[in-house]
Structure 1
Amino acid sequence: MRLPAFEYPIRISRPRVLWKLAKAALDRDRPVLVQIVVTRRCNLACGYCYEYDKVSKPVPLQELKARVDALRKLKAVFMTLNGGEPLLHPHIAELVRYIAEAGMVPMINTNGHVLKAPLIKSLNEAGLFGMQLSCDSLEDNEVTEKSMRRLRPKLELLRQHAKFMVRVNGVLGSGNPAEMEDVAKVVVGFGFGFQCSLMRDSRGQALPLSEEALQAYLRIRAMKGRLPQLLNDNFQLPLARGESKPWKCRAGARHFEVDGAGLVHLCQPQTGSPAKPLAEYSVADIRRQFDCGKSCAARCPIAYAHLGSRLDGFRRQHSAHA
């Protein structure tokens, strides 16, 4: 990967991000958190994932920049780069820089396995605000290749060099719950945040945890320094117990996903709705999705949808569509 030389570093401070969120809270027409696929290619093949392949070419940089321009016009706050494995995109640092210079807050979801010190430093200079890595077990197993054995040296590199926020996510149900506890202890020991996600069924709904996994999850939640309060995952507690959680999902408005073809989707499980080109997505579309409830919300485990909707719990919403 050819790493660009930037003329000057960009730093996005936490107070500046909080100021952007405060402005967005007053303007219900602004997307808070948009995820954008930069490549479907991945260097792993985890058993529970179907968001990747081994052959796709990266989305051309100019097309991605055009999508950034469209999101800038919509006044989006956060933009998260997804895959596949986004760090496989040959121009990932340049794209991060373009997002930051457009006035948005760039983040990356990654398995982290291709991280090296020069890439971390380039992402620092580009203005990356946060990176979420995935780790599900201590060792590789038949379900996941996202193991701490692979990730630990990358966490050490991040501790030495990263100037952006680092958080690690693990999927409970993809391995031994006790291992997930051990993974969380390692991550928190590095000084990074850790959160758990829940396994989903074929419709994208949360699968309840076994009693063993639930107890492990509760112990992980009690770990000091696990997550900042702003990013708490309290919404998962009833879902983990097999219950439902009433809330007002603003997917398609405050949060949505843009696939590799540039089409807008409510979230990953709701791919195909509305499947409208981002270049044509307007404030009218945002208002329509903001006001429309989602029938899948009660058992929804999609953290980005919950986080993006938190500003608007007090605002009204119509009944959920079918």
Structure 2
Amino acid sequence: MTVWEWVLEILSALLLLATLVWIIALWPNLPDRIPVHFNLRGEADGFGARASIWGLWGIGVFLYALVTAVTRLPASLLNWPVEPRPETARAMARASRHLVRGMKFLLMATLLHLTVGVTAVALGRWAGLTPWFYLWIVALLTVAIGGCAGVYRAGLRLPTAPAARGPDGPWPEVVDFPAARSTILLALTAIPPLIPFFMALRGDATAIVGLVALGPYLLVVGFTFWRPSYYRVTPTHLQIRVGFADFDIRLTRIRRVRPTWNPIASPAPSLRRVAIETDQGETVLVSPLDRDGFIALLRERCPQAVVEGGCGSRR
């Protein structure tokens, strides 16, 4: 295990132990009836015997044991999003371990917060679960979606890209251009999830709608930024593989190629882009990391197109 995995394991065990210590410490002071259910506002709307708090801790122990067992399963028994290859198996196994151990840590943290909330409401110290409880739910969704995307990304790791053309040599027949990723765009995607957080902290019950909507939102964003993204130029096609975008453009259909900073939505996770216009009036924006090399290759393979930028221009 890596150092990070050891840290997560130790913290998870400490959180489970802290939950037990908390229950034992407050057990003599708990009333006969304690909350066993909370509504979306965090208000207690169901009560049961105080012994039910041991059932809550028992669920935590079960989840801890279950997730721990999953981390020890042979790789052949796991359900992978893509079939591991010899060159990707190690990275996929590491990514899956990080995902599972991260989930275990968050589950134990959620358990501790819930236990503290139950006892605090039972003793009259809290009116209900604090809005901060929603943060654990969002964190679990984020780690689950991001972790699965990480495993998927590790499984689709591209083979070593072909060498670029030398000073006097030709391009290979198939050339892969990795997609550039903008930290600015990544930072902007973090703004929408903050809105339901703010609403939850203000006690707005409708915040739960935004928190639930974060699931598909994080799926799209995570898939876009974590899927191995590239643009493959073959002798006949430009293949675009970015996020959920998976389509081809025949090189003979390309009429114009030019650099751009156009910010509209497109299969381009960076603002440093290339606009590709086709014979049907469509404009596709892409963001290859080597923009000049990408334009130079299209200049060579699309003699019918007007190509701007790169190492020169042709009109």
Normalising by structure 2, we get a TM-score of 0.21
Higher relative helix content: 2
User: If you compute each CA radius of gyration, which structure gives the higher value, 1 or 2?
Assistant: 2
**Which fold has the larger relative contact order, with Cα–Cα distance below 8 Å and residues 6 or more apart in sequence?**
1
